[in-house]
Amino acid sequence: MKKSVLALTASLAFAAGSVSAQEVIITTGKSGGGYHGVFGTNLARVLKEQGHDASVVTSLGSIQNLDRVNSGEAHIGFTQGDAFAAWSKKHPNSNVEEIGSLGEECVFVATREDGIDDEDDIGEGTKIAVGEKGTGSAVSWDYLRTLEDDYAEASTFYQGGIRSLAKVASGQFDAFLWVTAPGNLNHSYLEAVNANDDLRVISLNDYSLNEKLPSGETVYEFHDVVVREGRFSDTEVETPCTSVLAVANTEMGAEALESAAAAIMMNANRIRGL
């Protein structure tokens, strides 16, 4: 019954030239984060301009968004590509469909200058902090561990924030992992690393990390990403990057899905805040 109501609601909400009394619910991320404050807010604004009634709700991130869209609690949501791949393995017959891409997010790993040299050193005995459970960075790390046996042997600490970076600098942790858009040199973690001579960002380029999304696209693409700008040359690392995806509930119906996908494709840069 819930799915039938969702399909009817979505069809009404996206019907051309009409405004539904029911809302199109977009599940996003934490308040103040990019999924909520940028993607969700801007997508809702686009849909409202097209005559639809859209609302934005906060969430814990990718996994909760996928669960909500699958159950019908929300119509549209955002997720990292690697989170979608991991989630899809556990939900092979889900009601979730990818309807658009909104850029990329990359995995960054910080270590001490005199500590881990490269990703080949990550394994048994390594202490790595990856952010709180349910966050994008923790989801990425948990997924990476399923692809690389050495990563699975590392000791994982679900702690985040600048305090975790400080523990890397002091030697309590060997590494700290986070996820953000490439080129985001103003990210607080990267700024903290660049301000500390004892810390650096290393490459994470093990090519065993390739898998496929349900759409057939690769989960990760490896990019050379600038992590520090210099007067004469920049510092780059090679790291895996995954797409930021918009997903929708398939019970919305073909017309509603098509309208939602078109809204995202035709307004991608605006939704990304560009």
Q: Where are the domains of the chain?
A: 2-103+245-271, 104-243
pLDDT at 7: 46
pLDDT at 20: 45
Equal CATH topology for 2-103+245-271 and 104-243:
yes
Q: What CATH fold (topology level) applies to the domain 104-243?
A: D-Maltodextrin-Binding Protein; domain 2 (3.40.190)
Mean pLDDT in runs of 10 for the chain (274 residues)? 45 43 80 85 91 90 93 95 90 94 93 91 95 86 90 95 94 94 84 94 84 75 89 88 94 83 92 86
CA atoms within 13 A on the CB side of 37: 5
Question: What CATH number belongs to 2-103+245-271?
Answer: 3.40.190.10
pLDDT at 22: 53
Task: Tell me the pTM.
Answer: 0.78
First to last CA, the chain: 40
Take residue 226 and report the two structure tokens written for it.
């600038």
